């Protein structure tokens, strides 16, 4: 691959909750020497800010008004991604159960999405990045060179998510699965930027694949895409 072409490449990885987007995206970015952006962490940070300030996340107008002053900073190193809220590291807080429960409502507010999509596009810049989320290929980076839509069986997703939770957030797999299905339902039916696969996205089912196999699949797709572009 030509390094110059690679450093302009944008890989969008969308998919259902718990399908392995974060681990996969970080793995792909590391393999290809690209930056990495977790757009979901940005929405979680926004949700955590609302909870901190006592904003009713069920009130779109209140959320929109408060979102204007929120300052979110996302690191793009796949080996050590960071998320800061007004200068404070909130990487642990954004994974709290209460944040997870609030994030769908907050992320459905049009003004929140407008603000964060603008920030995400600024970070993407000229490319050289793997971006994961729920609307990257459809809204944030519709011109991405490679779009992936990652899916997995709900039971497999729940088992993986349960294993990721810290000891202070242990939940049974069934309740985790119910929450994942709930989030997918809410996010796929919201009016603004609903969760969906881009028409030209490659669907990758990770149910029966290891993380390394999923990463290898996407890296191969990226290499093939770059090779085909070079031959045009």
The residue ranges of every structural domain in the chain are 3-225
Please count the other Cβ atoms lying within 10 Å of the Cβ belonging to residue 128.
21
For residues 13 and 25, what is the distance between their CA atoms, to the nearest angstrom? Answer: 7
For residues 11 and 27, what is the distance between their CA atoms, to the nearest angstrom? Answer: 12
Per-residue pLDDT of the chain (232 residues; tens, 9 = 90+): 456 688 899 999 998 877 888 999 999 999 999 999 999 999 999 999 999 999 999 999 999 999 999 999 999 999 999 999 999 999 999 999 899 899 989 999 999 999 999 999 999 999 999 999 989 999 999 999 999 999 888 777 766 666 665 544 445 666 766 776 676 666 666 666 666 788 999 999 988 888 999 999 999 999 999 887 766 5
Q: How far is CA 5 from CA 78, 122, 161, 222, in A?
A: 20, 19, 35, 11
Closest Cα partner for 9 from 136, 166, 125?
A: 125
Please count the other Cβ atoms lying within 10 Å of the Cβ belonging to residue 159.
16
CATH number of 3-225: 3.40.50.300
* pTM for this entry: 0.85
Instruction: Let me know the angle formed at the C-alpha of 119 by 113 and 120, rounded to the nearest 5 degrees.
Output: 85
For residues 55 and 68, what is the distance between their CA atoms, to the nearest angstrom? Answer: 13
């Amino acid at each position: 691959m030509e390094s110059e072409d690679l450093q302009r490449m944008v890989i969008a990885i969308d998919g259902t909750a718990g399908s392995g987007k974060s681990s996969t995206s970080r793995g792909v970015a590391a393999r290809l020497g690209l930056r990495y952006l977790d757009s979901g962490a940005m929405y979680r940070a926004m949700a955590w800010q609302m909870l901190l300030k006592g904003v009713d996340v069920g009130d779109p107008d209140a959320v929109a008004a408060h979102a204007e002053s929120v300052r979110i900073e996302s690191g793009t190193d796949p080996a050590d991604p960071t998320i800061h809220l007004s200068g404070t590291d909130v990487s642990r807080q954004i994974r709290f159960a209460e944040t997870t429960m609030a994030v769908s409502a907050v992320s459905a507010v049009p003004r929140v999405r407008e603000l964060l999509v603008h920030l995400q596009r600024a970070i993407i810049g000229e490319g050289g990045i793997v971006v994961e989320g729920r609307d990257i290929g459809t809204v944030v980076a519709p011109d991405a060179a490679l779009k992936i839509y990652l899916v997995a069986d709900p039971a497999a997703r729940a088992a993986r998510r349960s294993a990721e939770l810290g000891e202070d957030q242990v939940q049974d797999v069934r309740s985790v699965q119910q929450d994942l299905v709930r989030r997918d339902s809410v996010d796929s039916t919201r009016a603004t930027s609903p969760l969906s696969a881009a028409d030209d996205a490659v669907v990758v089912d990770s149910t029966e694949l290891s993380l390394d196999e999923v990463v290898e699949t996407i890296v191969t797709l990226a290499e093939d895409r770059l090779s085909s572009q070079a031959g045009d």
